[in-house]
Structure 1
C-alpha cells in the first residue's frame, strides 16, 4: 500500500503520528505508529520517529506492507451470509459456533469459516471481526473486508453509534421495560465469570417487553456499551436470568402451573436463549445508515411455542 501527501498548515507542529491520523482518518493512530516504527513512513525523505514534529508543507510518503494478521487456517464451514459487498460481510451466526480460535480450539470457528469465504481477511486484525458474540448466542455480526472499514467500524463502536438489539427469553414475568446501569467486571472469586462489581467498567443495558408468558418474558434488549457477557450479567442482576444460561442462570426453578411440554422444553434447553436480532450502523464506504434483522433460530422458536401452549 502506498500513500503520498503534504502536511496542511493547520497540522504544523503536531506529532507525526497524530498528524497522519488526521490526514488519513481511515487508519487508526496506533496502526500509523506501527508503520512509522517499522520504517515504512518517510517525512521529507527521511525516516522519522512517531514523536517528531511536522512542518507545514512537509512531504509524507507511506509504503506499508500489509502482511497476514491471521495464522489460522481456512475451513469450508457453511455461513449464513445476510449481506455482503466489497466493504462488509454481515453474518447470522448459529448457536454453538465459536467466533475466535483460542488455545485448544484452533479449528471449527467463525474465523476459520471467514478465511475460506473471503481469503483477503487474513490481512486484517481478527479476520475483520470488530465485535463478538458468545459461542451459544446466535444472531448478527458484522465483519470488515478492508482495513479502512475495520478502522471505521471500530470507531463507530467506540462512539456507541452502532445499534445492537437482542431478543432474550428470561425467567419470570417482567412488568415493564427499564434500564440496567451497573458496572461490569471480573467476578471477585470466579475469574472465569463476569459480575456487577463496584470497580467494573460502565455498562448500560435497556430492555422492553416483547412478549409475556405465564412464567417467562421475551425481552428486546439494546446495548449502550459492549462489556463481556453484559446482557447475561445484567439480566441475572435484576433477578431475571436468561433461560438456559449455564453460567449466570443459577439453579433451575420451574414455576408452578407450567404445562408438561413447557417444563420439558425449559429443562431441555441447554444454552442461553439470547439472539442478536438487529444490527444498525453507518456504512463505512457510502456513509448511509444501514440495518439488518435476523429471525429467531429454530430452537428458540420451538421453545416459545411450547410456552404458549
Structure 2
C-alpha cells in the first residue's frame, strides 16, 4: 500500500474474518488511517472497486474479493495559511502538541476568518490541509489557554478521535472559581444548547451526557483554585458545570456572575481581579496513546503569566488579611 500527497493507492484481498461485512466497514478495518465517510466517498465515486467493478458502500464483500483503491487525496480544508508564531511542545510525523495562548481562536469562522490557530498550523505544516478540520480533534475556547494536540496524519486523526470517543485521552485543567469550596467532587449533568440563548450551553434534561471531576488545590479569600478532569468533552463543559453548582469561573464573561470581591479587598487585589478579563481556565496536562506506537505520552503546559499573577495576588491578599 502506498499513500502520497496527491494519490492514495491500495490493493488487498478480503480476509476470512471480514467476509460478509459491508464494503465500507471492511475497508475501514483494512485501512484504519482513513475515516469511514472518506471510504464511502471513494466507493461512490468509483475510486474504490471490488473485483474491478463499482459497488455501493452497503454491498457485502466475500473472502478473497480484490479491493483496489486509486483515489485523489483531495484537500479537506480551504483556509489560508498564515505566518503566526506557535508554541510547540512536541512534534513528530503524526502529532503536533502545542501550548495555545489565551485570545487565539482555534477555527476560522464568521468574524474570525483569519489569524486563527488553524491558519497558523497550515503555514507550519501545509500537509494538514488534507486532514479533516486541519487535524483539530478537540479545541479550546478562544480565551482558554493551554495544551492541545493536532493530528498530523490520517492515521493519527483516526486514533485520536477514537481515544476521545472512548474516553481514553486524559485532560486536566486548572481553574479559579468563585466561592470557597470545602473539597472536590464529581458533576454529572447533561449539557446542550441553552433553550433561550442559543449561543450559550446549559445543563438541560435532554442534553448529552457530561462528567467533570474537580478537586480543590487551595482556598483563597473568596475563591478556589481547582483542578478539573473531563470524562466527556462537551462545549464549555467545565464553565457550564461549575456555574451550575454556583461556583462559576472567575472572569467568565458568559457563564460568570457579578464579581464578588472578598471582604476587605484592597486596591492591589481589586486591580488584578478587574484586570483579569477572561475565564480563569488553563488546559494544564494531556495524556494519550501515541497513534503510531501506542506508547503512553504525557505533556504539560505551564500556567501563563496572567494566571500566575492572579494566583499570586489572591495568595498575597490572603496573607495580608491573615496578618491584620
1:285 to 2:322 alignment = no
1:59 to 44, 66, 69: 66
CA displacement at 1:222 relative to structure 2:
0.3
Contact 1:6 1:60 in 2 (8 A): yes
Question: Equivalent residue for 1:212?
Answer: 219
1:186-215 deviation digits (Å, cap 9, x = unpaired): 111111101111111100000001122121
1:235 to 2:232 alignment = no
Contact 1:206 1:222 in 2 (8 A): yes
1:85 to 2:92 alignment = yes
2:197 to 190, 208, 215: 190
**Divergent runs of 4+, >4 A:** none
Question: Equivalent residue for 2:110?
Answer: 103
Q: In the aligned structure 1, how far is the partner of 2:79 from the partner of 2:26?
A: 34
Task: Indicate the larger mover: 221-230 or 56-65.
Answer: 56-65
Counterparts in 2 of 1:121-200, with a 5 A limit?
121-200=128-207
Q: In the aligned structure 2, how far is the partner of 1:252 from the partner of 1:63?
A: 60
CA displacement at 1:145 relative to structure 2:
0.7
CA displacement at 1:53 relative to structure 2:
1.1
Task: Indicate the larger mover: 270-279 or 32-41.
Answer: 32-41
Q: The residue matched to 2:218 in structure 1 has which SS? A: strand
CA displacement at 1:282 relative to structure 2:
0.4
Q: In the aligned structure 1, how far is the partner of 2:33 from the partner of 2:93?
A: 16
1:230-278 deviation digits (Å, cap 9, x = unpaired): 0000010111110100000022221213333112211221100100000
Q: The residue matched to 2:260 in structure 1 has which SS? A: coil
Contact 1:195 1:233 in 2 (8 A): yes
CA displacement at 1:71 relative to structure 2:
1.1
Q: The residue matched to 2:54 in structure 1 has which SS? A: coil
1:69-105 deviation digits (Å, cap 9, x = unpaired): 1111111100000000111000100000000000232
Q: The residue matched to 1:64 in structure 2 has which SS? A: strand
Q: In the aligned structure 1, how far is the partner of 2:143 from the partner of 2:45?
A: 40
Q: In the aligned structure 1, how far is the partner of 2:185 from the partner of 2:94?
A: 36
Question: Equivalent residue for 2:320?
Answer: none
Q: In the aligned structure 2, how far is the partner of 1:226 from the partner of 1:53?
A: 35
CA displacement at 1:28 relative to structure 2:
2.4
Q: In the aligned structure 1, how far is the partner of 2:31 from the partner of 2:134?
A: 22
CA displacement at 1:9 relative to structure 2:
1.2
Q: In the aligned structure 2, how far is the partner of 1:157 from the partner of 1:38?
A: 30
Structure 2 stretches lacking a partner, 5+ long: 1-7, 317-324
Q: In the aligned structure 2, how far is the partner of 1:14 from the partner of 1:308?
A: 62
Q: In the aligned structure 2, how far is the partner of 1:119 from the partner of 1:199?
A: 40
Q: TM-score, normalised by structure 2?
A: 0.93
Question: Equivalent residue for 1:305?
Answer: 312
**Over aligned residue pairs, what C-alpha RMSD do you find?**
1.0
1:247 to 2:254 alignment = yes
Question: Equivalent residue for 1:201?
Answer: 208
Q: The residue matched to 1:285 in structure 2 has which SS? A: coil
Contact 1:78 1:113 in 2 (8 A): yes
Question: Equivalent residue for 1:267?
Answer: 274
Task: Indicate the larger mover: 256-265 or 125-134.
Answer: 256-265
Contact 1:169 1:243 in 2 (8 A): yes
